[in-house]
Structure formats: C-alpha cells, structure tokens
Amino acid sequence: MRNLPFLLQKEFKQIFRDPAILRLIFIMPMVQLILIPFAADYEVKDIHISVVDLDHSSYSRRLVEKIRASSYFQLVETPPSYTEALKAVESGDADLILTVPADFERELVKSDEEQLHLAADAVNGIRAGLGTSYASQIIAQFNNEIRGEWYQFPRKSPFPRIDVSFANWYNPHIDYHIFMVPGILAILVTMVGSFLTALNIVAEKEVGTIEQINVTPIKKHEFILGKLIPFWVLGMVSITLGMIVAFVVFQILPLGSFLLIYLFAAIYLLGVLGIGLLVSTFVDTQQQATLFAFFFMMIFILLGGLYTPIESMPHWAQWLTKINPPAYFIRVIRAVYLKGSNFQDLLPEFWAMLGFAVFFNAMAVRNYRKRSA
Amino acid sequence: MNVFWVFVRKEFQHLLRDKRSMFILMGLPLVMMLLFGFALSSEVKESNIAVLDSAQDEASQMLIDRLDQSRYFEVAKVLRDEKEIETVFKRGEARLVVIFPNNFQHDLHYNNQAQIRLVGDATDPNTSSIVINYASAIIGNFQQDVLGDEKLPMRIETELRMLYNPQLKSAFNFVPGVMTLILMLLGAMMTSVSIVKEKELGTMEILLVSPMKPIWVVLSKAVPYIVLCMLDLILILLMAVYVLEMPIAGSLVLLMAESLLFILTALSLGLLISANVESQQVAMFISLVGLLMPSLVFSGFMFPIENMPKVLQVISNLIPTKWYYSIVKNVMVKGLGFSFVAKQTFILLGMTVFFLALAIKRFKVRLQ
C-alpha cells in the first residue's frame, strides 16, 4: 500500500493535465442535465385536431366549440371534406380528424342515435390512443349536456352514478422536470464512472504505458485502486455539481436526506467503476471499449426505468432489470428526491447495490490477474 | 484512384479482423430492435395497485375484483388506514391507491351517487395519469353495468379509425427511431474515433506520405463504415418486416436512397469531429454527448418536439436526425412519395455539403 499515494498523485496529475478531458467530464454532462429536462417532456398534449363539419347545425357548432375550449386540443382547421383533412394528416399538421356527418342533429333527435367519425394518425400509437380517448371524453360530456337539456327539467341524478375524484401525490402539478432531473443525474454518474475508467485503462494499454507499470513492483490491487479512487472522486464531484445544477436551474431539492444520496452514490459509483474496470480487462483498443461501454449502457439505460416504467415490461425483461445497476440507482434517487424515502424504505436497494459493487470489482480483479499472469 | 481502393481494402481488413467490434456493431441494432419491440412500452400493464376499502360491501368487492381482473392492474396490497398510503408509495409497492368510503353500496343504490377517491403516485407523471385514466374507465364500465339494460336517449356513438397503424403497434414509431440512432452512431462516432486513432498513434503521418491527397486518405477510412451502415440498415428492415411484422408502406428504393444520404450526413459529421480533435477519448465524448444525446432528444422519436420550449424547437431544426426521422416515418410508415419529403431531403443534403466542406477545410490546415 506504500505505493498508492504516488500512484494517486500520478493519476490526478494526468487527469488535470488534460484540460479537454476535464472540460468534458464536467461541462458536457452539466449542459445535458440542463437541456434534456427541458426537452424531455413526453406528456401527450396539444393534440392537433381538424374538424370536418358536414352538418353545420347548432349541435355540431357547439361540439366544435367545446373541443376548441378544451386544454388537450388545438383546432388547426375546419376543412370542407375528409379528403382535404387527410392531407393535413399526411403532412403531419394534424393528428386527429373528427367528422360530423350531414344531418347529424336531425338524426340524433329523430332516431335517438347517431354516429361521429374519429380518425387518428396512429404512427405513434400512444398519442393516437390518448388523443381518441380525450376526444371521446369530450363527446361523452357533450352527449350528457344535450341529453340533460332534452329532459327540460332538472332531476337529481336519475341514474346511479359514481363520482371519481383523484389526487396526484408527490407531483401535483405533473411537472416533468422533477421526474426527469433526478433520473438524468443517475445516468450522468453512470456515464462518468463507466466510460472514463474503461477508456483510461485501455488508453494505457494501447499506448503501451501499462507494460511499464507492470514491470514495477506495484501490486495489482494497488494499480486498480490507483485507477478507481480518482474516478470515484470525480464521480462524487460530478453528482455534487449535478445536484447544484438541479437546484439552481430547476429549484429541485431532495425531500429526503443528502447524506442518503451520497451514501448510495458512493456505493453505486464503486459498482459502476467495477463495470468500467471489467470492460477494460477484456478489450484491447479504445474503440472497442467505447463500443462495449456504449452497448451495455444502451441496454442498462433502456431497461432502467428512466423513460418507460419497469412494470410495463414483460416478465423476462423485468427479471433483467433486477441485475441492472442503474435501475436501482434511478429508483433510489427518485425516491429520495421526490418522496423523501428513508434508509429503511430503500433497504432492498441498498443490499443489491452493495452486492453489485462487490461482484463487479471482484470479477475485474480476477480477470485482471489472469491477463497479465 | 487505384491506390484509394487499396486503402479502402486495408481499412476493411482492419475492421473485419476485430471480431469483438464487429459483434457489437451487428449486435447493437439487433438488441435495440428486440428491446424496443418486446420490452419497452409506456403502456400500462399489470400495474400494482393498493385498495383501502372502508366499505367492505358487495359493490366495493365487485369493483375491486374487476380492477384486479383487468389486464391493467393487479391488487398488490390491501390497506387498513390512510397512513399506510405513504409507506406503500415510499417503498414503491403501488402506483395507485383506490379508496372506498364507508357506505359505498348504500350510497350507490339509495342515493344514486357514490364516491371513490383515486390517489396516484405522480413521481412518474405520465404513468400516473394513464393509470388514473384506466381506473376511471373501469369504474365507468362498472357503473354502466349497475345501470343495467336501460337505454339512454340521444346516444352519440363514435366510430374510431386508426390510420396507418390500425393495431397501434409501437414498432411503427420506434423502428424509424432505431434506424436514425444506429446510423448516426455508426456513421459519426465510429468514423471519428477511427480517424483520430491514427492521429493519436502517429500512424497518420505515415499514411500522409503516400501519393494520395490527405482527404482521400481520410475518406478511405470512411468507406467501410458506409458499407457497415447499409448492412445494419438491411438488418433492421428485415427484422421490422419479418420479426415485428411491420410492413414497409412506401417505396423501398426511395427509403434506401434517403438512408444513404443520411449515412453520408453522419459520416461528414464524423469527419468534422475528427478534423478538430487529437485524442480518441475526446472524439468519443464529443460524439457521445454532443452528438448522440441531441440526436436522441431532438429526433422527435422519444419526446414530442411540439412540447419543447420555443428555443429548443428552433435548435431542433439544426439536428440532422430530426429530418431523417421525419423522412423515414413518411416513406416507410405512411407510404408517401418523394414530394412529401423533398424539403427534408434538401435540408439534409445542404447539411452534408456544409459539414463536408468544413471538415475538408480543417483537414487541409492541420495536415499540411
């Protein structure tokens, strides 16, 4: 262990000597953290609707007015025919076409039943599904209104009715920032940790300086610690910066304790560094390291619950998320930030992350010895 | 020109010899298509919910059963009092709590008006509102059934038509997105890193003493990646059609031609990056953070561009992936012809020429 301080000194010097790397480590992720949350709002809103009104009755005009007034829709145009409206869908200007058939009002009064036609651009299935369901809700409300008027006299709830009230906890204003920012923070730490270690060690291999270190009396674990510690420190600094950005730009502070976040971040970083280390033991060039790190990162992030909820995944994929370290950290950091969860609540995550840290580093050390023996 | 092809062949051999890289370059599109196709969806399925049933009567039990049996929900926990809601949420054990008041059945049958409260964990706002929507719909159906066969007057029915994608398959949305990302990744990142590598190792100097102009040396390194991109593209299209059963609605020739144009755009970006940096680490970081991230965010594939603040919407116009994504959607999914993608095509063409010119200019300055 006597050699460790010297190794650390060397590593830190190397890192600080290269201003480009330093800039990249700190500035680029911060820019990401600031920009992505502004863009990453995938709430379905502002659905562009085009209404073809072939009836021109008082009912049809009221329905159009109701749609115009709703917050979900933006009425883009009222073309004279369905064919015209379809052109707007093709060019991407409209998402939804509502067609009111001729004689809509007359038929409705006469035969107590009449149809409206709703066509949606379903390239994006979710948008189409929600759009048509919002439109159907408005039509149902409209239906209730005119039915009530038709009765002429007010009655007290003539049919059994269930009133549903709802509340959104932890995020009553449905703000995407407070959902995305902690998640992106987790990704940031993951990228800094895994990519940088993997690349750094492989760079030494590629340039050949690792041979020089191998012939010195430095022990393997000293070498590995010498690589781990600086990047661990960088990782902790970057999460601190990230939390500052989250507060300054988005006014987001954790409801739970900072200490808890640091505790989990410290353990998580160890695991991520272990992954980076492991990657570096079985690749030879930086290009390979990049590809490997990118490949796993893609899978990790996509299966991490950052953008799509884990319980919507099929069972085999849910099982995969159990061995996916970022999935745990994303969950933890969101729970502490948004719900103020405490250590007790997150105990299962704690053990899992500790397990990852031990596992990956042990694997890396083992693999490392094999190669250079 | 002969020398050029010799160089290209050398680069191919380099690339093919690296089995591990090839494995990832071919495996990445495969894995992404499978993940997006079968694992990822923002649709709500079998969400865990908790119930707090103070009524414990027949009506509340029926409704709870109905929620549990629907394919959207699974009743994971039965709570005894309001305080437990907090714990359930903090541990992430349920997305939604359904609360029945004391006299649910009595209210429903004798007062014709009963109340239900839904509390959603809105940490994830999208999922929370979808879950609340679905639960409300199930409660609405339940109410219809309580009503029995009684026919209401003045019924407005709505006939629904889903254009282009009647089964609402998510593949129609993500296949163009995966194509965009993969081509960008391979074209820009791999090219830039592979060129900078020569600079870093000093072998670039050796290449430059050859009788070829520097720009041809650089271009010869890009050719194998064009071929690789086309292979990946074909792989993705084959999987889309045969594994995910998503037909290609428009002209295949047009789609391939547009894709080739986009590959060139990505390559020219890769060249531009490699002209400006000296180390692979920096090249990689720039392509990853400066290129791939914006490509993902601004393509319109994961996040709707209309939702973004105006400034970002303006910026999104500068990102090539936005235009290619729109081209692929129009041609491949909607089956539209060239006139519907002409604008996007010219923008991509313009960008490619611009990046390429800039890269060549920089290379000249640096390499002589």
pLDDT digits (tens, 9 = 90+) for A212-256: 777 777 777 788 888 888 889 988 988 999 999 999 999 889 988
Q: For chain A, what is the mean pLDDT?
A: 84
Interface test with B, best of A166, A339, A347 (most B CBs within 10 A): A166
Interface test with A, best of B16, B30, B156 (most A CBs within 10 A): B156
Helical spans, DSSP H, in B54-190? 58-69, 83-90, 104-110, 125-147, 171-184
Token code pair at residue B271: 């060249």
pLDDT band with cut points at 50, 70 and 90 for residue A355: very high
A97 vs B207, more confident: A97
pLDDT digits (tens, 9 = 90+) for B219-238: 888 888 999 999 999 999 99
Chain A residues with CB-CB distance to B129 below 8 A: 43, 168, 174
* Residue ranges in chain B modelled with pLDDT below 50: 368
Residue A354 confidence (pLDDT): 95
Strands B96-100 and B113-121: antiparallel
Residue A373 confidence (pLDDT): 39
Nearest-neighbour CA in chain A from B209: distance (Å):
23
Nearest-neighbour CA in chain B from A2: distance (Å):
31
pLDDT digits (tens, 9 = 90+) for A264-321: 999 999 999 999 888 888 888 887 887 888 788 888 888 888 878 888 888 888 898 9
Count of A–B CB contacts within 8 Å? 344
Contact A162 B164 (CB under 8 A): no
Nearest-neighbour CA in chain A from B41: distance (Å):
6
Is pLDDT of A332 > 90? Answer: yes
Chain A residues with CB-CB distance to B113 below 8 A: 157, 160-163
Cα within 13 Å of Cα(B355), Cβ side: 23
Is pLDDT of A322 > 80? Answer: yes
Residue B300 confidence (pLDDT): 81
Q: Out of A91, A122, A199, name the one closest to residue B340 (CB).
A: A91
pLDDT band with cut points at 50, 70 and 90 for residue A157: low
pLDDT band with cut points at 50, 70 and 90 for residue A353: very high
Contact A166 B25 (CB under 8 A): no
Convert A236-253 to b/e letters by CB count within 10 Å (16 or more is b). bebbebbbebbeeebebe
Q: What is the CA radius of gyration of chain B?
A: 28
Contact B155 A143 (CB under 8 A): yes
DSSP type of residue A311: G
pLDDT digits (tens, 9 = 90+) for B172-183: 888 898 899 889
Chain A residues with CB-CB distance to B312 below 8 A: 35, 38-39
Query: For chain B, what percentages of helix, strand and coil (3-state, to nearest 5) are there?
Result: 70, 10, 20
Closest CA to A266 of A185, A354, A346, A342: A354
Structural contact between residues B282 and A24, judged by C-beta atoms closer than 8 angstroms: yes
Contact B289 A118 (CB under 8 A): no
DSSP type of residue B150: P
Strands across the sheet with A96-100, in order? A73-77, A47-53, A96-100, A113-121, B155-163
Contact B125 A168 (CB under 8 A): yes
Q: Out of B21, B150, B154, name the one closest to residue A112 (CB).
A: B154
pLDDT band with cut points at 50, 70 and 90 for residue A1: low
Partners of A116 in the beta sheet?
B158
Q: Which amino acid is at B288?
A: L
Contact B285 A24 (CB under 8 A): yes
pLDDT band with cut points at 50, 70 and 90 for residue A90: confident
Contact B156 A142 (CB under 8 A): yes
